[in-house]
Structure 1
Amino acid sequence: MTENTDIRAEVVRAAQAMDESGLVVGTAGNVSGRHTGGTIWLTPSSLPYDQVSIDNLAGVDLEGNLVAGVSRPSTEKAMHLACYRAFPEVGGVLHCHPVHASMFAVAHRSIPAVIEEVIIYLGGDVAVADYRPTGTDELGEEVVRHLADRSAVLMANHGMLCVGSSPNHALHAAQVAEHTARIVWGASRLSDPVELPTKARSDFAEVYSYLRTQTWATSARLLS
């Protein structure tokens, strides 16, 4: 396999796993991965995930120009590219519409980091970005504001965006966020969710910071 094929295969696997795990319905959502040469490989627009393959991904540069492949890239490419331009350590971006996380997005409520793994893997509470129209540069700029020290952000009245060192890593972030949203939603039926102690939150945030600054870039290079 060439390096390009490796990252393209990772995008396809993450996209199909996203679909199979119920994080999207139909052709909603999108996944991308960054190759070390600079090309961003995106899932194509409006294609069922069981038909997505390494041969129909779209390769674009950081300005959004099609440089490889023949498919039309996802209409959300501006949001993906904004993340890659802002964060050189990011090697994968995933946008999805999971049921419970989307309920928080529609209610304009953050998903609280009341479980240790949320801070370790996502950095802390998953905030809600202000509403911006789908597919616009403005939406990309808005989500980036919330991702400097987080792996996930909710988009008001829309869904969720996750970043990671690879497409699969971004998928894991989405799964953690959705799992937590479901737990918090259920716990709120019993009582108000209780926050972790301040020191625990601080300690686990340091773990996230270390992983992001020290291992993400290395992992992305190994994948690509």
Structure 2
Amino acid sequence: MLTDLDTVRAELQAAGRYMMAHGLAWGNAGNISARTGDRRYLITASGTFLGELADDDFAECTFEGKTFPEGRKASKEMPMHRAVYETRPDIGAVLHASPFYSTLVACSGEEVPPDLFVETMYYLERVERVPYRHPGSEALGEAVREKASLANVLLLENHGVLVYDTTIREARMALQTLEMACRMWLSAKSAGISLVRLSSDTAEEFRQHAGYKPRREWPT
């Protein structure tokens, strides 16, 4: 896990620039964070622009609710970031954004197919939906907490997406893969193209034996 504040901050700044440059974020929507200790994490401050994060555009928060430096206002979406870190000790980074195609799926009844191509099988291991709760509310934090252990990608209905993984890089790759899969799925439907999905047995065999990273154990 990343622990050095300067390193974590620099990696989050790079992730914010990447997200903005690749259409994964827009305006001042979205917030990102990374774990800095067993019970603390660094998160973007309220109202920040992910493409131009300055050194003082962050707040370090503890699970107990303290914020450093004092007076710095952390993102209002702090409850759902904290819920993931508290529920999943293996998670090192959380990215919340509203990319176009992924958010379109989150605002509809469409599914995200995790078995279209190699990267979806690798990065979109489990996808769950979270019913709409107002942004920044404790109710949304608790709704995320209920699903955090069941997936590594959460579709926040009528809101956006929440992606989390062991590192900032892995979370960023999962977010981009999610957006690509949603774009492919919706574009194919619009064009009347029927995509051929891999069988569940093939997808499971890939996840078990591909060797890209250790296989995560999920609740059945």
- Per-residue deviation, 1:204: 3.1
Q: Which residue of 2 aligns with 1:73?
A: 74
Name the SS of the counterpart of 2:90 in structure 1.
coil
Asked if 2 retains the 8 angstrom alpha-carbon contact of 1:108 and 1:157, the reply is no
Q: Which residue number in structure 1 is paired with residue 117 of structure 2?
A: 115
Q: TM-score, normalised by structure 2?
A: 0.86
In structure 2, how many angstroms separate the alpha carbons of the residues matched to 1:122 and 1:66? 32
Match of 1:87 in 2: 88
Gaps of 5+ in 2: none
Using the TM superposition, give the Cα deviation of residue 140 of structure 1 relative to its aligned residue in structure 2, in angstroms: 2.1
Structure 2 vs 1, CA of residues 111 and 37 (structure 1 numbering), >3 Å: closer, same or farther?
closer
Q: Post-superposition shift, 1:144? A: 3.6
Within-5 A mapping of 1:141-180:
141-180=142-181
Question: Cα 1:153–1:50, aligned 2, differ >3 Å: closer, same or farther?
Answer: closer
* Deviates most, 104-113 or 73-82: 104-113
Q: Which runs of 4+ in 1 moved over 4 A?
A: none
The answer to whether the 8 A contact 1:110-1:128 is kept is no
Q: Against the structure 1 CA distance between its residues 211 and 16, is the aligned structure 2 distance closer, same or farther, given a 3 Å change threshold?
A: farther
Could you list the per-position Cα deviations for residues 79-108 of structure 1 after superposition, in whole angstroms to 9, with x for gaps in the alignment?
100000000000000001010111111113
Q: Secondary structure at the match of 1:145?
A: helix
1-structure distance, mates of 2:19, 2:71:
23
TM-score by length of 1: 0.85
Aligned residues: 211
Shift of the 50–127 alpha-carbon distance from structure 1 to 2, 3 Å rule, reads closer
Aligned partner of residue 175 in structure 1, secondary structure: helix
Q: Distance in 2 between matches of 1:121 and 1:140?
A: 23
Q: Aligned residue for 1:22?
A: 23
Q: Helix, strand or coil: the match of 2:174?
A: helix
Identity of paired residues, percent?
Answer: 29
Structure-1 residue corresponding to 2:140: 139
Change (3 A) 1:121 1:82: same
Aligned Cα root-mean-square deviation (Å): 2.2
Q: Matched residues in 2 for 1:157 and 1:183: separation?
A: 20
CA distance in 2, matches of 1:9, 1:128: 31
SS in 2 for 1:146: helix
Q: Match of 1:191?
A: 193
Higher helix share: 1
SS in 1 for 2:164: strand
Aligned amino acid, residue 77 of structure 1:
M
3-state SS of 1:45 partner? coil
Is 1:101 the counterpart of 2:94? The answer is no
Distance 2:200 2:110 in 1: 21
Q: Which stretch of the first structure deviates more once superposed, 103-112 or 188-197?
A: 188-197
